Amino acid sequence: MKLHEHQAKTVFADAGIPVPDSRLATTVDEALDAVDEIGYPAAIKAQVHVGGRGKAGGIKIATDREEAEEYAEEILGMDLKGYTVDEVLVEAGVDFVDELYVGVTMDRGEGEPVLMVSTEGGVNIEEVAEENPDAIAREHVDPAFGIHPYQARKVVYEAGVDADVALDVASILSTLYDLYEENDASEIEVNPVMITGDRDVVAADAVMNIDEDALFRQPELAEMAEESYENDLERKAGEYGFDYVRLSGNVGIIGNGAGLVMTTLDIVDYYGGSPANFLDIGGGAKAERVTQALDMVFSDDNVDAVVFNIFGGITRGDEVAKGINEALEGFDEIPKKMVVRLAGTNAEEGMEILNTDLVEVEKTLEDAVQRAVKNAEEMTQ
Amino acid sequence: MSIFVDDDTRVVVQGITGGEGKFHAGQMIEYGTNVVAGAVPGKGGQAVDGVPVYDTVDEAVEAEDADASVIFVPPAFAADAIFESLDTDLDLAVAITEGIPTQDMAKVKKRLGETDTRLLGPNCPGIITPSEAKLGILPGNIFSDGNVGLVSRSGTLTYQVVDNLTERGLGQSTAIGIGGDPIIGTSFIDALAAFEADPDTDAVVMCGEIGGEDEEQAARFIGEQMDTPVAGFIAGRTAPPGKRMGHAGAIVSGSGTGTAQSKIDALNDAGVPVGDTPEEVADHVEDFL
């Protein structure tokens, strides 16, 4: 789960990390009120979960009120790589002479958090990692002990940060690790940390991603998550408690188990179709759950046809079939053609129970997918 | 022969009084697994389906000589349950629980390195040696005895592939779910090495998915150290970067590491054929045998 920049900066500021003065605005008027208070230059920054916002035109620096109005009008409501901008952060411009990168993330391979610092801040750090890996200094932290302050100093010096600001940067990094631990973050980074002409150190951007599996013990962050859904379908999936990802195709997919659902998406693509979504209905498939899953794909305008693929392990095929029948009988008209394939425990009984007036039935995953792809093609002709 | 579990394995079920734990303990017993004890704090002295319950894993091991555990404990308490089995020096702990915070698992992983216990999972369907023992939630009825080893990060995908194999009369020696989380106990390489050493496993299926670099490392291991033929499958070719595809570990990073293509290329470079569909994986296994 990704926090917006303004949410992450609130968390940082509360922990004592210096951040620029800022206000959140949802209208041009609010943005102008904000710049009146903050002064110029002021950065107007789109609050969407998109990397490279600056390059895409989502961040502009205003030097006077006229520019501020122009940029606020431009950015509010704009489409940034598929996301509509509803909020901007209006922030005091920082007069910087140098930019650094600092971050904390989980090194999956090692199973340990790792601190990262680079003097090549302000640019895409993943490109730096690829082209010049030595430009990033790294230090692993023992998750059982937590950070020792010397580790933050060590990695900052190793990265070659100027000596007069090194201890301030190390202090920010040390605080970031504590935040990482306290908030169950999966990733936390500041890119850039700006060094001003007066040799002050300021966190000019903020990325903070939270481990979704830990939200049960992070109630405040869970609340922030509510506010950071990227579209209505994702919000709805969150309410239903589904693992859901929206893609850009037109074949809706419902299945059970992450690996098998991913495989179904891949096979749709393999047979020339284009998947509209990933939706894992999980174990069990009672009518209520099926109804919710159908609501997800039926209310997606992109979806032209649906494939429903269940491999019953402990879940029984006959129960799934009953759930599908019950859910579909609730519709006056089935909005989108659906192909069902049941396999595993009691699959044959399930196939017999399925109401073939309402759904099409196929025996194998390959056949079900090909039929759904064909159904979708027919809809677009 | 088989790997990790057989009909001598003596199992303690942690969380046996909960809904999932009770149901699946029953299924394991029905399959023929030696479920010798349950462990649930505060429930010592009770019995579930004739299985005695103890307050601690330590007591269960002491009284019933258990050497493996299966963990059906809710995410908030699961890391603690795993620590308990590690600290009791069991040979094997199988963590079924999905949704354990990653930072908890980092601490578990640290301890794991200091013990001799093998951990499977978390977020896995468990392990089965057909006709001998099943530890976890895999549906026993789709498996059959044979000489194909299977290791996978996913549950239902495993069932799909096993179904394709069983239909053709290709039985399994042992099937292992290693789990869909970013930090897990047993890696592909650990399982592959055990299959390589098992004289009764003549071919192996490895089902990977997007995220991390375990498959790439496994591919190098196969190329350098395995004689047993391996067929592969990789899920998540169509997954967009930066999105978690159900499993906490199934995510392609923004910089493009952990992609399906990188894993498929690595496997192909190691001489491992990768199926485009589960059916094609079974074709490859049939060719090996």
pLDDT mean for each 10 residues of chain B (289 residues): 91 96 95 98 96 98 97 97 96 96 97 96 97 95 96 94 95 97 97 97 98 95 98 96 89 80 96 96 96
CB contact under 8 A, A262 and B235: yes
- H helix or E strand, kind and range, residue A80: strand A79-80
Judge contact between B228 and B37, C-beta under 8 A. no
pLDDT given at position A266: 97
What is the C-alpha to C-alpha distance for residues A322 and B187, in angstroms, rounded to an integer?
39
Which letter does DSSP use for residue A2 in this model?
B
pLDDT given at position A344: 86
CB contact under 8 A, B212 and A108: yes
pLDDT given at position A277: 96
pLDDT given at position A14: 97
Mutation pick from B22, B102, B112 vs chain A, by most beta carbons of A within 10 Å, is B102
Compute the nearest-CA separation of B109 from chain A (Å).
7
Question: How many residues make up chain B in this entry?
Answer: 289
The ipTM (two decimal places) reads: 0.94
Residue B172: CB atoms within 10 Å: 24
Residue A177: CB atoms within 10 Å: 20
What is the C-alpha to C-alpha distance for residues B244 and B98, in angstroms, rounded to an integer?
14
Compute the nearest-CA separation of B63 from chain A (Å).
31
pLDDT given at position A287: 78
How is residue B59 written in tokens? 């007591």
Judge contact between B96 and B72, C-beta under 8 A. yes
| Sign of torsion over alpha carbons A268, A270, A276, A281 | positive
How is residue B251 written in tokens? 């995510």
CB contact under 8 A, B142 and A344: yes
pLDDT given at position A285: 65
Compute the nearest-CA separation of B15 from chain A (Å).
18
Q: Is A108 on the interface with B (CB under 8 A)?
A: yes
CB contact under 8 A, A143 and B107: yes
HSE at residue A39, side-chain half, CA atoms within 13 A, is: 3
Q: Which parts of chain A have pLDDT scores under 50?
A: none
What is the C-alpha to C-alpha distance for residues A265 and A189, in angstroms, rounded to an integer?
32
What is the C-alpha to C-alpha distance for residues A94 and A194, in angstroms, rounded to an integer?
8
Encode burial over B272-281: b for 16+ CB neighbours within 10 A, e otherwise.
Answer: bbbbbbbbbb
Among partner residues B100, B154, B250, which is closest to A260 by beta-carbon distance? B154
pLDDT given at position A243: 92
